[in-house]
């Protein structure tokens, strides 16, 4: 589910853009360190593969069919860092060339699918992928990756105040579970085909890194639960939440104070403050991105 622009409230997309920028920077560094140079074309071609894979339909009976989403499959075959980079590239190309997903909402889509969904899919594989429950683990990973992404997207929409009556919510959660089950089955079918073509395609889970990954995965799942909880507690959206906690009025005074001394009539209009805050947010995102890049580069140089 690619969220277009215009659906998310400004605090939601701005926050997620700020969160996505350093996450993607970190994943890109990790992927670059972990892979030899020959993998650069590989990651791009694998992105094209995920695009093309949507053309192959998996018949599920009743005349309907589904197709691969691919986050868990990429994590199993390329490793989580490289999978995150490929998914980010896919989402960026989809947003730019196919108008599938927004530009301001790109951070939200990256967090939902490329980071949280991918990690939720990789987590069971990293923990139990080498054991005797391998097949079930692969299935569970595909299931979790789609379900996590979908629930995150849904809760972001609800926090932003998009109307979601209880009946609609139940139906869409049901649909998400069905498509998540399908993704698990498709991922398993492809993994079995890959194992019989060439076992080297599949990365074996490393032992030892499980604890850190487990922590990240649990954090992701916690965020999902928290998001749903907040969204259902405040069905009218973040505006109400901000009003209830007084954040909105504080933010207003914060924004007004620096401009209060100037007798510029136009600056007092609400929209200019809002647009200014939005642009300042973009500036902050840019700054955070540059800073993280610099820090990581220095860390690597040391």
Partner 1 sequence: MHHVVLDRWSHGESALHRRDARAKTIAVLIFLVALATAQRAFLPLSVCDLGILAATIIAAGLPLGAALKRAAVVLPFTAVFAAISLAAGEPMRAATLVGKSYLSALAVLVLVSTTPLPELLGGLERTGVPRYLLMVAQFLYRYLFVISEEAQHMRAALQAKSGTLRRAVWDRGKFAAAGGALGVLFARSYAHADDIHQAMLARGFQGHFLTLSGRSFRRADVFFVAGALVIVAGTRAAVEAWI
Residues between 59 and 88 that touch partner 1 (CB under 8 A)? 59-63, 68, 77, 85-86, 88
Q: H or E element: which one contains 65?
A: strand 65-66
Q: Which parts of 99-158 interact with partner 1 (CB under 8 A)?
A: 99-100, 102-104, 157
> Residue 195 or 218: which CB sits closer to partner 1?
195
One residue of 16, 20, 92, 116 binding partner 1 per CB under 8 A: 92
One residue of 232, 269, 295, 300 binding partner 1 per CB under 8 A: 269
**Does residue number 267 form part of the binding site for partner 1 (CB under 8 A)?**
no
Identify whether the C-beta of residue 107 lies closer than 8 Å to the C-beta of residue 116.
no
One residue of 211, 247, 286, 295 binding partner 1 per CB under 8 A: 286
Stretch that binds partner 1, among 131-139, 197-205, 222-230, 252-260 (CB under 8 A): 197-205
> Residue 218 or 279: which CB sits closer to partner 1?
279
Helix (H, G, I), strand (E, B) or coil at 159: helix
User: Alpha-carbon distance 292 to 289, whole Å?
Assistant: 5
Helices and strands: H and E segment counts in the chain: 12, 2
| Least distance between partner 1 and beta carbon 138 (Å) | 12
Scan for tokens 């990429």, then name that residue: 74
**Does residue number 295 form part of the binding site for partner 1 (CB under 8 A)?**
no
DSSP states of 212-234 as a string? HHHHHHHHHHHHHHHHHHHHHH-
- Rounded to 5°, angle at Cα 185 from 180 and 187: 90
Scan for tokens 């490393």, then name that residue: 206
User: Alpha-carbon distance 142 to 73, whole Å?
Assistant: 7
Helix, strand, coil share of the chain (percent; to 5): 75, 0, 20
Identify whether the C-beta of residue 144 lies closer than 8 Å to the C-beta of residue 124.
yes
Stretch that binds partner 1, among 35-43, 142-150, 205-213, 240-248 (CB under 8 A): 35-43
| Least distance between partner 1 and beta carbon 117 (Å) | 18
One residue of 177, 223, 284, 289 binding partner 1 per CB under 8 A: 289
Scan for tokens 């993280």, then name that residue: 292
**Does residue number 29 form part of the binding site for partner 1 (CB under 8 A)?**
yes
Q: Which parts of 174-193 interact with partner 1 (CB under 8 A)?
A: 185-186, 188-190, 192-193
> Residue 45 or 244: which CB sits closer to partner 1?
45
């Amino acid at each position: 589910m690619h969220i277009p622009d215009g659906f998310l409230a400004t605090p939601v997309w701005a926050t997620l853009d700020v969160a996505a920028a350093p996450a993607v920077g970190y994943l890109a560094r990790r992927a670059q360190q972990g892979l030899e140079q020959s993998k650069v074309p590989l990651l791009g071609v694998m992105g094209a593969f995920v695009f093309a894979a949507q053309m192959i339909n998996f018949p599920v009976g009743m005349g309907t069919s589904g197709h691969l989403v691919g986050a868990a499959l990429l994590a199993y075959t390329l490793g989580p860092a490289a999978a995150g980079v490929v998914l980010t590239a896919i989402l960026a190309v989809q947003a730019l060339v196919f108008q599938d997903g927004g530009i301001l909402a790109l951070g939200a889509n990256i967090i939902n699918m490329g980071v949280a969904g991918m990690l939720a899919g990789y987590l069971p594989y990293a923990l139990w992928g080498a054991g005797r429950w391998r097949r079930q683990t692969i299935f569970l990973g595909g299931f979790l990756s789609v379900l996590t992404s979908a629930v995150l997207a849904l809760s972001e929409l609800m926090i932003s105040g998009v109307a979601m009556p209880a009946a609609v919510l139940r139906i869409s959660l049901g649909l998400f579970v069905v498509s998540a089950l399908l993704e698990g089955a498709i991922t398993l079918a492809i993994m079995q085909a890959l194992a019989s073509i060439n076992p080297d395609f599949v990365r074996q889970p490393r032992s030892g890194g499980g604890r850190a990954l487990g922590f990240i995965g649990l954090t992701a799942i916690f965020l999902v639960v928290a998001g749903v909880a907040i969204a259902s507690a405040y069905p009218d959206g973040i505006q109400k939440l901000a009003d209830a906690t007084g954040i909105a009025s504080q933010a207003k005074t914060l924004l007004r104070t620096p401009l209060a001394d100037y007798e510029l009539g136009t600056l007092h209009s609400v929209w200019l403050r809002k647009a200014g805050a939005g642009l300042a947010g973009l500036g902050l995102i840019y700054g955070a991105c540059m800073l993280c890049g610099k820090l990581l580069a220095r860390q690597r140089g040391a």
